[in-house]
Every structure is written in C-alpha cells, then in structure tokens.
Amino acid sequence: MMIVALLGGKKEELYKPLVNMLASSGYRVSSAVYLRKVNIPSELKKLAEAGAGITLAYSTNRLVYTTTFVPDNLEDIKKRISCLSPVEPDVLVLLGFQKLVSDRRDVLKALSVWSAKEANSLISGLSPPIVGVYSERQDFPDGYNSPVELAKAIIEEGRRRRVLPPLPKRV
C-alpha cells in the first residue's frame, strides 16, 4: 500500500487532483484527515459528547465514521481504515498528521503551502522522502507550478519505489 502524507496550509488543493487521478486510474483510495477544528454535524457531535466511542453515520451515499479514540501511530490509522474498507486500499492519503509521519521513511510526503517560508519550516522537521513542494506564491525554488503537476509526481514516485501496485489488467 502506498501511503502519502499531504502537508501544509494548502494541502486540500493537492488532495483533489491526486485522489481523482488515482481513482480514475482504478486504484482504491482511502484517506484520513487530521482536523484541528472538529466541524462535524451537530447530530454526531451530540453522540460523541454523550460518550459514544465510535459512531457510524449513514446517508444514502455516504458513511461518516467518528471516534473519540486518538490514534497513537500510523499503524492505528491503517488498522482502522482496513477494518472499515470492504477491500484493502491501494493508497492511503493522509491530510496532516505531521507528527505521526515526520520520521517515517515509508511515507511519501508532499507539501502544498502558501509560501517558501512555510515550506522551509515544514521541511526542516521531515525525513525523506519528500516528493515535492507546490507553493501558492510560486516562490519555492524547484517547486511545482501546480497541484496537478505535484500529484503526477507523487504517482510516478510511488511507481518508481514500487509502493503503488500495478493496476489489474482490464478485460
């Protein structure tokens, strides 16, 4: 399974093209989001405040999973994703979780930031592999010009490192 951590203040801009490219190619993608401000629907918030440890909320086309258990490490996240997914995902995209992935060499890291200053601050606390940086201000030397270009680079790096499984042949 390829694990990618998207970091920085503009990570959501990188998320959509990356997941769209992977999913449209046939890869099964799961994601986990680290939120500083929990903006969950009031119904779920009330259930959590009442003491529910895990809550699954179903609608006609979505399942929302909330839990009051904080993951201690990346393996906790992978285990929860695997338990909820009917089929093991090919790719796990993490939005945030800098503290959990900063020293992990098995996680591809990509930065989508406002400026070179933000990028340099993040990079100083990360171990390789850092696939690349997209800066909104276009002021990061050797940075990518768009989130789409960086998303393509992430996929290519996953293939190069052989952590992105080959797609099954379509009949």
Residue-wise pLDDT tens digits, 148-157? 999 999 999 9
- CA distances to 36, 42, 58, 66 from 49, rounded to whole Å, are 17, 10, 19, 12
Q: Which residues contact 22 (CB under 8 A, 6 or more apart)?
A: 29, 90, 91, 155
All structural domains of the chain with their residue ranges: 2-36+73-160
Residue among 14, 34, 18, 128 at smallest CA distance from 77: 34
pLDDT at 88: 87
> Residue 44: is its pLDDT beyond 90?
no
pLDDT at 49: 73
Mean pLDDT, residues 137-161: 97
Q: What is the CA radius of gyration of the chain?
A: 17
5: helix, strand or coil:
strand
Q: Tell me the per-residue pLDDT of 16-39, one tens digit each, with 9 for 90 and over.
A: 999 999 999 999 999 998 776 556
Mean pLDDT, residues 27-55: 74
Q: Model-level pTM greater than 0.85?
A: yes
pLDDT at 171: 46
Mean pLDDT, residues 46-56: 72
Q: Torsion angle, CA of 139/160/102/117, rounded to 10 degrees?
A: 0
Assigned CATH class of 2-36+73-160: alpha beta
pLDDT at 37: 58
- Please report which confidence band the pLDDT of residue 12 belongs to, taking 50, 70 and 90 as the band edges: very high
Q: Tell me the per-residue pLDDT of 77-131, one tens digit each, with 9 for 90 and over.
A: 998 888 888 888 999 999 999 999 999 999 999 999 999 999 999 999 999 999 9
pLDDT at 161: 97
Mean pLDDT, residues 50-74: 77
